[in-house]
Structure 1
């Protein structure tokens, strides 16, 4: 839109324009404490309107793990067709690589995750190590930035960076929402690894792999009929623009306290402007 994004008060105003929605999880449907008001019902109403819905998340956990977690929070599992995570995309990439290598010797993986989660490497021909000194590659799936300072990760990763060990970051978010507020996310740790001299392959929004996987699932639905909903200009809105899709920016999540001027600055910084702005993930104010 040449005149900037159109502000809408509910999804009912534009849902007829689209056949499919790619919806972010954190910042749109929920925060670190639980679902946003109206989010459960809005997701249900959107699905009842006949839309194909993919929850598109920069979560290092695999799809099934997130399915269960969202359902446990009170969301109806029938409200979405697929919960596609960057962790799921990365797992499939690693599975394909393992088949190609098939040397019989498991690669040593330094997994950085959250709450002891090992799902990003479960079922793969990988051996876990806790040391950067002997890792063959790093799998950066999540951050415990609310537990450890950035210096903790610097000490852990510096030996691997010095050895030129490659890193796969499956959660590009630089800020994460926790029960206590915000903390640095896995994307910030990946940035740190690059600052230390390491190389990072980024999986998730705004990078192409996750959108290609989503488009494959959506089949023949035309790009102009697909709309992305997110709270991050850097990830959700820029990712949609790069994939040639329409987008809606919700002003909850990481931009909850941002002013209109703040948002305009971010639009310019990331070269991406949403088609619509929605105060929160709500079906209708009426």
Structure 2
């Protein structure tokens, strides 16, 4: 199958529109229609219903295979080009919203001081997108984060050959309103909070909590953004609880182990033993500024 046709098929299936796919790919709508027809002819099966534009059963199966295949092709191309590239002093670092914590920000500052010519662009995106940008060559490296048991790796991304190194772990706190009945506790167990109302966020998916502690954790509000201050404001206003790295609520309340900010409180998570883990992702890095930066961040 022609990868160009696969790319067009994926774009049409994801946008649900031939015209939207044409605009995104820079083709005419007629060219998109011809490419889909050519792919269907090659396979001898209809792949898309036309009204509305949705994948057929065969199209849905192809979609499951097509995106990983295209990603691996991009990764292979980027890897080959990377071996012949002149070491660049302008790099992009892709990062999930909570990955570049205070500790790693200091390491980044030291790395820049050691390489004065180095220009770094930090680009925030979702975890899956970080891996895609790294393997596709759009970013020299990436930082991703998540909740894990101490020293346990995060679930690996399906993004082709990639090196993953753990670079930071810190404790977690339960973020709740300052006037919450549990706000002055020295610690909280996740199992005792299964009936509490929770925020559904990309920073702390409720599905992850259910995987760790069983059923429960009703969703009070679904927030699809990635701004930490918005999450804290929602918590402070009583829209639900969430888990956050301790450094997000880093001002200690007087004479207690509770962390506090004007937006709310963070009570240490006492059980189960979980941490906020940050991992560095990169493909093969030839000797040069990018390799030195990866070593400094590690």
Scaled by the length of structure 1, what TM-score is found?
A: 0.24
Higher relative contact order (CA 8 A, sep 6+): 1
Scaled by the length of structure 2, what TM-score is found?
A: 0.23
Tell me which structure has the larger Cα radius of gyration: 2
